Amino acid sequence: MTTGQPSFEVKQVEFFKSAEHPKDYPKDSRPQIAFAGRSNVGKSSLLNVVVNRKSIARVSNTPGRTQLINFFLVNGSMYFVDLPGYGFAKAPKSVKAGWDRMMTSFMLNNPNLRGVVTLFDIRRALEDDDRAMLDFLAHNGIPVLAVLTKMDKLPRSHQMEARKRFTADLAYHAGPPPILFSATSRQGRTELLDAIGERAAAPPLSALQPGNEQNPGENGND
């Protein structure tokens, strides 16, 4: 477990813009780190803790409220990108299809993307939507930083068991082990910031080849 001060810290953050289409993305070449997960996984709460603000990302009791791609400028040098949540059962099929198209377009038309922080509820097994997203990222060579949220909801004796299970499920991504995270205690923040800083400093991803794309929800969103 990483303790102490992170090697990368968020000193300044501001909402930059919301976008739906590639033409609306930021035009500069600052690196981008995206955040993805199911609609009830606690993504907004995690983002607020990571940037050390109370409400930079809206926390809603209604999963699926964020329906656009939201860009936050961090330290004037990079973007955190809040992607629409996926797998919200009550959303109409047309809305879920729109989310899938938006995320696919963002990831396949974005040379500034350095990786995706992918969130999973530590209490739940991977669902079809999660596996579809992971398969999409692996298929397109996009690095994954896996985070297991809501760790405080599990007894300590079960946390390591869950981490081992997720590590096995994510083995084919060849990324770092999943990070245990609690928005309540802020545990995992330093480790996640270190991983984000390292990923943001990495060279740009290789250009994705047209025709190889796979919808991140085509294996899970019916």
Q: E strands of the chain, at which residues?
A: 13-19, 32-37, 69-74, 78-82, 113-121, 144-149, 179-180
Using CB atoms within 10 A of its CB, is residue 210 exposed (0-12), middle (13-18) or buried (19+)?
exposed
Rounded CA gap, 93 and 166, in Å? 29
Strands 13-19 and 69-74, sheet pairing: antiparallel
From the CA atom positions of the chain, what is the Rg in Å?
16
Nearest of 104, 37, 43, 40 to residue 72 by alpha carbon? 43
Give pLDDT, residue 56: 78
> Which pTM was predicted?
0.85
Rounded CA gap, 32 and 67, in Å? 19
In order along the chain (222 residues), what is the average pLDDT of each group of 10 residues? 72 92 92 92 93 74 63 96 79 75 85 95 90 89 93 87 86 80 95 95 68 52 37
Give pLDDT, residue 191: 95
CB half-sphere exposure, 57, CA atoms < 13 A: 28
Residue 148, strand partner residues: 120, 180
Give pLDDT, residue 6: 73
SS3 helix, strand, coil % of the chain, rounded to 5? 30, 20, 50
- Helix pair 189-200, 43-50: axis angle to 10 deg: 80
- For 13-200, give the CATH class: alpha beta
Give pLDDT, residue 215: 62
- The residue ranges of every structural domain in the chain are 13-200
